[in-house]
Structure 1
Amino acid sequence: MDPKSSKWTASSKNQFFMILAIILLQHQLQFPVTYAETAKKVHIVYMGEKRHEDPATTKKTHFEMLSTLLGSKEAAQSSILYSYRHGFSGFAARITASQAAEIAEFPGVVQVIPNGIHKLHTTRSWEFIGLEHHSPQNLLTQSNMGQGTIIGVIDSGVWPESKSFHDEGMGPVPSHWKGICQQGEHFKSYNCNRKIIGARWFVKGFQDQTHFNTTGSREFMSPRDGDGHGTHTASTAAGNFVAKASYKGLATGLARGGAPLAHLAIYKVCWNIEDGGGCTDADILKAFDKAIHDGVDILSVSIGINIPLFSYVDMRNSIAIGSFHATSKGITVVCSAGNDGPISQTVANTAPWLTTVAASTIDRAFPTAIILGNNKTLRGQSITKGKHNHRFVGLTYSERIALNPMVSSQDCQPGSLNPTLAAGKIILCFSKSDTQDMFSASGSVFQAGGVGLIYAQFHNDGIELCEWIPCVKVDYEVGTQILSYIRQARSPTAKLSFPKTVVGKRVSPRLASFSSRGPSSITPEVLKPDIAAPGVDILAAYTPANKDHGNSYEFLSGTSMACPHVSGIVALIKSLHPNWSPAAIRSALVTTASQTGTDGMKIFEEGSTRKEADPFDMGGGHVNPEKAAYPGLVYDTTTEEYIQYLCSIGYSSSSITRLTNTKINCMKNTNTRLNLNLPSITIPNLKTKVTVTRKVTNVGNVNSVYKAIVQAPIGISLAVEPQTLSFNRINKILSFRVTFLSSQKVQGEYRFGSLIWTDGEHFVRSPISVRAKKTSDY
């Protein structure tokens, strides 16, 4: 993350965290072993499913264990940070590495790990995906806009004064709610209402990791959001109606969240400091623990871990662990896929019980005219509303004004431009890679005295905000045309127009280039991401405390923005179908997703080369809320099935027993990894022939007959048995088998297809991904 931008969504700004992690690791390795053994650091002692329903008894067990380790109750009291006693059992405490090794051998302890730190991964978007506010028969109306559901948001807090969080029209606080409105710095009990019904903050893990305090920072030791990320995601999921919301006059319209009448519960775990920030495992797990206790229905988590991923029973994958316990209690957990695309195998949050969301574009554009001195007009995109060039000014190419002729200034990185030559001019810059961004280039041009920026980049999925000077983003083709004019003209000049807001003219959706791609690097047989949703240039509430922006509504891009879109949709579906499980809801989203854009053609991805989006880009496809509400059939999955899946990927019965607090017998089934009842089928290593089983539950018309339609991957033959499923009052759940046979003679790449069950009204589509593998040691 670029700490000066405070935009925690773009992968280009998240490099800071990776560098920080490497520095911290190297720093730790420089100390002698004796220091590592005696230095106290926060460790998480995970004990799996709680053994007692009484939280006080569970907490007492934790203190007794820690007292035994440390020798006294007083030492345990001063050491412990958190006791996890609602959703699962465990605690976080300051202990040495040798003490951590010792307590790991105590009876009942599943795992002990050091505290880690993770990163944080709308006026038009809802209409774009079909949730029209004024339509009398749509999902928004039928679900009463999510009234009665509670969305928990684990993020950077909330700015409660935002107009998006007023409670006009809200129903009463649900009777099952058990949470609190935790007070703190500039956050009082009256900051909660019938919209924000509860708020908590967790900082002990982050404090220990960073020695953080709020002196001289914009952070607040309370649920109040000093960054803006949490406010943005919360208002996207469930913001109330706000008329004429805009960013400095752009994208003006009626702002609202996906479920405008759903309630919000805020769990602040992510903290922003001048030289970095993040969210630690200890704090994240405590948020999950409290959210389970408080009674949320949905959890929206726009946080992720870096590659390489940790296993699903490894405490360093705190989101996987916390979400397992939440899902087993009926809470749907929605997570962002990550912002490390378009590279394959970068998707985060890959546990099969999660709903993982990729980011896409919408059909809104902000065209800006670039008028050259030869009267030729070219067009780019801009969301800058500042002092524009009403008259022609000098135009130059960044390489011509390099501060050091021996160092390339093509991409206008900080310190690369000569202020004497840049002053008063519009500068043309070319991005060299996806890791460079217009925001940092605009700061460089501004510092050098430039008055405008034209930024050429190979993809167009998202426009960085520029606060200081007008900025226009163009593709390489337009950038090259401008460069040709600069080279030919004796005194090149240009002026930039104000941007406009245009909707319905741009082919969308497109998969954002930054959106992390599959397949999963840890369990490739589980398709991730599950679904795609709007996540590019999303306008939502923001915090005025963020000095880099300070606006009430802000454009942000990232899978962090896509995640709460799906969380809001889940709230609507949950209101309509309160007894549906998290797996059933995920299945409804995946199997009804759209495959085509506004032009009727296949959805494409944005990247170094454009291609049709495949399941590793967008899972089942682009979210279609109206169809997801009535999917016809669902692929439901139980906690027991998830447990057997954990058995199949190598975990022992004893370790899983400690995780779940139930006696587990791992079944000997060689196909368990492929037979987990997901709404997709992924076979990463098809050698010759394999048969996969699935079962579907009828949630549509009682007496229904569904027939199979198969689109086999290239080079793969595919047979479904039976080819017809007949449902009635007795037979509500039916199974089928799919047999795959490879005809490829050489090692293959992934090929894609689909299986659709249809009764003529519903089309229940499962994406299929298959890779042929001819030898075991290829």
Structure 2
Amino acid sequence: MGFLLHDQKNTMIMSFVLVPLLLILNMHYYMLPALADSKRNVYIVYMGKRQHLDVELLTRTHHDMLATVLGSEETSEDSIVYSYKHGFSGFAAKMTKAQALKLSKLPGVIHVTRNRFYKVQTTRSWDYLGLSSTSLSNLLNKSKMGNGVIIGLLDTGIWPELEVFNDENLGPIPSRWRGVCESGEHFDGAKACNRKLIGARYFISGLEAEYGQPYNTSENDDYMSPRDSSGHGTHTSSIAGGSFVANASYDGLGLGTVRGGAPGAHLAMYKVCWRLYGGVCADADVLKAFDEAINDGVDMLSVSLAADIPLYSEVDHRGSIPIGSFHAVAKGITVVCAAGNAGPRAETVQNTAPWILTVAASTVDRSFPTPITLGNNHTIIGQAMFTGEDTVSAALVYPEVSDLMPPRNCESLLSNDDWMAGKIVLCFASDCNQSLLNDAILSVKAAGGLGVIVSRSPSNYYPYAMNFPCLQVTYETGTQILYYIRSTSNPQVRLSPSRTHIGKPVSTNVAYFSSRGPSSNAPAILKPDIAAPGVQILAAIPPFDETTNGAFAFLSGTSMATPHVSGIVALLKSLYPDWSPAAIKSAIITTALTSHQSGGPIFAEGEPPKLADPFDFGGGIVNPNSAADPGLVYDMNTENYVQYLCAMGYNNSDIFQLTEHPVVCPSNQPSILDVNLPSITIPNLKKPTILTRTVTNVGPLNSKYKASVEFASGINVAVRPETLIFSSRTKTISFTVMISSAHNVNAGYYFGSLTWTDGVHVVRSPISVRTEVGESFF
């Protein structure tokens, strides 16, 4: 279910699979073993908002503070790894646990935490979203394709020579840009950057300091530079803001013009992830990348990384993404993050801070039907990415075993199973672990098999992109093939090459792997926010060798969905440069699609599939052209986020260090339900509850909106006032929502919506309510 990419050193670097590999399409926190000095490790000293603009003085302050603990300025100079001095204040340094404890007690220090590590998380998708380059009236062309916007990405690096990063017809680099194109191994900064890729940096000091020795790029098949050795960062960059490249395909499949969502935008890469232990991204490096990106002048950040469950709180400084993104958003920089690939289980969504735009993954209306012709001339259609022009014909076998023995499922197949040589194998998958299944398919190939037909759940399969015939069918179809095998002494099969099908009857679904809500640390904050294409996305990868088929590959994951939304954010930012990150987020959520364009419902893949709800896709599937004209927005600023932090019960001193002004939370803790989100989630409705929202008119000055509510029986929603009248003098109006329940038992969530409409604009907010009667037993 994947294909292998090799670098120029002819060693395997990764297996790209369409159900995402955790190696490259998701990110996990863990502690790196102390390899060199068990007593000294890297600690991050977080000091919050910087108190003055003199970065040299700030750096000196950091060194002086460290010297008071370590004993000398020389030791301080040798031990410090990073000085954070642009978006916030702090530093990373090597020290003992006792020294870190002593440092944490000094005035001005909010928190000292141990350095941790992460693992990292088209031809059709943009047309599918209504952003065809041939339409003059859509958001793509109204925004001049994102002209002048700078998209920053935190990822594995970039391969700058690819045609998708050419700067033909692009405007000049914005004068506000303060970034650099940093040279390094196989990366000449003077030549690598142009008007498309205007900046590239790499951050590895946090990783090396923790590892205790220099990073060996030869041993890890990597580059000590912004150059991408895995393909993940190149792929996401080309999705977000790549230039037009005609006749792109994966060996003929998905043929068309590849481009990014904002082909007129500029790109800046911040390489924070490295190939040690299969791929890690150090907290200290990620935080430094946020700090530099804020100072460089990016307009938005695309972060296809996500932490493991359980999550840390937003003010727990053991997480760089919530803290770094808070400071970015405070500067007007929209931060778009992946929801994670831990679905379809509930409460697995990641990157849940309300200032982050969190993205789930959905499918597009494209499939790759592949004929399977049995020896009795009966043809069945499977799904595959079997390329080329030649068919494959051979004997068809199934690993029958005695009833007294464990069944030989797909995952049990081994490379020394010589009975598979020269044959096509039918097997039944028993596990959703894609890595195990991928190994099994490679075992068939290694044993001399000519192909494999994998029978598995219909809600959890996507075609494999690999140069080996590997077809997928449902359990029902697989059973029919098995009946044929058992009906004859010489079963035969012919596999024909795949073809590309677009449009009906292929439906849009939330992807099986996409992490689901509700949020585990703040269930009253709806997450994910939105869904976007993240399955079988064709985009650029480094040209490692001929198996990459012209340096384009199909990848899947919320890592691929994230840059789709990032590209749309860039278009909106170009059209409305004064909109806040919250306004952009609101426009995207309240205009999203909750049904197919043809009118049918959207399902969420799982065991079994179900109708999608807000915990699957937030507001729905992103709808960029409607987001460009939302009518009303639920706007927020730093003050609103402070309200959220107070409502969560966080410490005043921790909150204060994130803001420019002293903060004292009110003695009566504010309600988290009043945070001005474009959604409403009540995880424990015990009695009639009233909450407040405020909307800002960004449409025609003189507008009249009326409220309508849709909800399941037993949940009552009343909106006051029911009509909102805007004028040149009245641009912002507050309203209340009272929600009550007639249910008298504790149960699951009920879903509905509140919609404001003026006859032209439809401003929809998803509502999720769970009744709690007496003591909860959930």
| Match among 184, 193, 216 for residue 219 of structure 2 | 216
Per the TM alignment, residue 383 of structure 1 is displaced from its structure 2 partner at its CA by 1.5
Letter in 1 for 2:468: I
Question: Secondary structure of the residue that 1:659 maps to in structure 2?
Answer: coil
SS at match of 1:102: helix
CA distance in 2, matches of 1:8, 1:661: 44
- The aligned residue for residue 258 of structure 1 is 261
Aligned partner letter, 2:242:
G
Judge conservation of contact 1:427–1:453 (CA < 8 Å) in 2: yes
CA pair 662-699 structure 1, distance change in 2 beyond 3 A: same
- Give how far 1:441 is off: 2.6
C-alpha distance in 2 between matches for 1:610 and 1:380:
19
1:463 Cα offset (Å)? 2.9
**For residues 173-193 of structure 1, what are the alpha-carbon distances to aligned partners after superposition, in whole Å with 9 as ceiling and x for unaligned?**
001100000000011121000
**2:339 corresponds to which residue?**
337
Q: Match for residue 562 of structure 1?
A: 561
- Residue 685 of structure 2 corresponds to 686
Deviation at 1:76, TM superposition (A): 0.9
Measured after TM superposition, the shift of residue 597 of structure 1 is 1.2
User: Cα offset for 1:411?
Assistant: 1.9
Q: 1:140 is paired with a residue of what secondary structure? A: helix
- Counterpart for residue 200 of structure 1: 201
Q: Distance in 1 between matches of 2:505 and 2:669?
A: 48
* Change over 3 Å in CA distance of 1:135–1:42 after alignment to 2: same
CA contact (8 A) 1:345 1:519 kept: yes
Kept in 1, the 8 Å contact 2:152–2:293? The answer is yes
Q: Per the alignment, do residues 54 and 585 of structure 1 end up closer, same or farther by CA in structure 2, a change over 3 Å counting?
A: same
Question: What amino acid maps onto 2:529 in structure 1?
Answer: D
Counterparts of residues 74-93 of structure 1 (less than 5 Å) = 74-93=74-93
More off after superposition, 465-474 vs 605-614: 465-474
Q: Structure 1-normalised TM-score?
A: 0.94
* 1:546 shift after superposition: 7.8
Residue 515 to residue 21, structure 1, CA distance change in 2 (3 Å): closer
**Equivalent residue for 2:148?**
148
Counterpart in the other structure of 2:14: 6
Counterpart mapping for 1:662-677 below 5 A = 662-677=661-676
TM-score, normalised to structure 2, is: 0.94
Compared CA separation, residues 484 and 184, structure 1 to 2 (3 A): same
Aligned to 1:394: 395
CA distance in 2 between counterparts of 1:124 and 1:10 reads: 16
Alignment of 1:363-442 (within 5 A): 363-385=365-387, 389-390=391-392, 392-399=393-400, 408-413=407-412, 415=414, 418-436=416-434, 438-442=437-441
Matches within 5 A, 1:291-690: 291-385=293-387, 389-390=391-392, 392-399=393-400, 408-413=407-412, 415=414, 418-436=416-434, 438-459=437-458, 463-545=462-544, 549=548, 551-690=550-689
Distance of aligned partners of 1:21 and 1:7 in 2 relative to their CA distance in 1, 3 Å threshold: same
- C-alpha displacement at 1:350, in angstroms? 0.4
Tell me if structure 2 keeps the 8 A contact 1:713–1:770. no
How far apart, in 2, do the equivalents of 1:9 and 1:584 lie? 35
- In the other structure, the counterpart of 1:763 is 762
C-alpha contact (below 8 Å) 2:181/2:199 kept by paired residues: yes
Structure 2 unaligned segments of length 5 or more: list them.
Answer: 6-11
Q: Distance in 2 between matches of 1:388 and 1:479?
A: 23
- Counterparts of 1:235-254 in structure 2, within 5 Å, are 235-254=238-257
After TM superposition, give the deviation of residue 7 of structure 1 in Å: 5.0
Contact 2:41 2:209 in 1 (8 A): yes
Deviation at 1:385, TM superposition (A): 2.2
What residue in structure 1 maps to residue 229 of structure 2?
Answer: 226
RMSD over equivalenced CA pairs, Å: 2.4
Q: CA 1:454 to 1:96, structure 2 compared with 1: closer, same or farther past 3 Å?
A: same
Q: Deviations over 1:48-87 (max 9, x none)?
A: 1111112112111111111111111111111111111001
Residue 598 and residue 427 in structure 1: after superposition, are their counterparts in 2 closer, same or farther (change >3 A)? farther
Q: How many Å apart are 1:660 and its aligned residue?
A: 2.1
Shift of 1:535: 0.3
Give the C-alpha shift of residue 18 in structure 1.
11
Residues 121-142 of structure 1, C-alpha deviations (whole Å, 9 max, x = no match): 2110000010011011111111
In the TM superposition, residue 662 of structure 1 has moved relative to its aligned partner by 1.9
What is the letter of the counterpart of residue 153 of structure 2?
V
- The whole-number CA distance in structure 1 between the counterparts of 2:742 and 2:266 is 53
What one-letter code is carried by the residue in structure 2 that aligns with 1:197?
I
Q: CA deviation at 1:609?
A: 0.7
Relative distance call for 1:238 and 1:173 in structure 2 (3 A) is: same
Q: Is the 8 A contact 1:716 1:741 kept in 2?
A: yes
Cα offsets for 1:456-480 (capped at 9, x unmatched): 2213566353434211111212111
SS of residue in 2 equivalent to 1:6? strand
In terms of mean alpha carbon deviation, does 299-308 or 393-402 score higher? 393-402
In the aligned structure 2, how far is the partner of 1:414 from the partner of 1:192? 47
Aligned-residue sequence identity (percent) comes to 52
- CA change 1:19–1:630 in 2 (3 A) is closer
CA distance in structure 2 between the aligned counterparts of 1:90 and 1:117, rounded to whole angstroms: 19
Distance 2:16 2:65 in 1: 39
AA aligned opposite 1:337: A
Q: Secondary structure at the match of 1:691?
A: strand
Letter in 1 for 2:21: K
| One-letter amino acid of the structure 2 residue matched with residue 425 of structure 1 | K
Matched residues in 2 for 1:49 and 1:641: separation?
A: 17
Answer yes or no: is the 8 Å Cα contact 2:29–2:308 preserved in 1: no
Amino acid of the residue matched to residue 329 of structure 2? T
Given that 1:414 and 1:443 are in contact with CA atoms closer than 8 Å, whether structure 2 keeps it comes out as no
Which residue number corresponds to residue 175 of structure 1? 175
Separation in 2 of the partners of 1:297 and 1:170?
A: 17
- One-letter code of the match for 1:6? M
The residue aligned with 1:111 is 111
Deviation at 1:387, TM superposition (A): 8.4
Q: Distance in 1 between matches of 2:527 and 2:75?
A: 44
Aligned to 2:9: none
TM-fit CA distance, 1:246:
0.8
The C-alpha deviation readout for 1:112-170, integer Å capped at 9, x for no partner, is 11111112221100000100110111111110000000000110000001110000010
Residue pair 1:8, 1:229 contacting (<8 A) in 2 also = no
Counterpart CA distance in 1 for 2:353 and 2:649 is 15
Partner of 1:102: 102
Secondary structure at the counterpart of residue 123 of structure 1: coil
Contact 2:26/2:119, CA 8 A, preserved across alignment: no
Asked if structure 2 preserves the Cα contact closer than 8 Å seen for 1:754 and 1:765, the reply is yes
Match of 1:191 in 2: 192
Contact 2:338 2:559 in 1 (8 A): yes
- For 1:774, the equivalent position in structure 2 comes to 773
Closer, same or farther in 2 for the Cα pair 1:376/1:773, shift >3 Å?
same
Q: What is the match of residue 283 of structure 1?
A: 285
Using the TM superposition, give the Cα deviation of residue 747 of structure 1 relative to its aligned residue in structure 2, in angstroms: 0.5
What's the CA shift for 1:671? 4.6
Residues 1:555 and 1:277: Cα distance change in structure 2 (over 3 Å): same
Deviation at 1:769? 0.3
Paired residue type of 1:238: G
**What's the CA shift string for 1:694-720, capped at 9, x where partnerless?**
000000000101000001243211100
Cα deviation, 1:264-293, whole Å, max 9, x if unaligned, reads: 0000001124x4112111111011000000
Q: Secondary structure of 2:522's partner? A: coil
Instruction: Indicate the SS of the match to 2:516.
Output: coil
CA distance in 1, matches of 2:399, 2:107: 65
Q: CA deviation at 1:317?
A: 1.9
Matched position secondary structure for 2:432: coil
Distance 2:576 2:744 in 1: 48
Equivalents in 2 of 1:703, 1:487: separation in Å?
73
Question: How much has 1:549 moved relative to structure 2?
Answer: 4.7
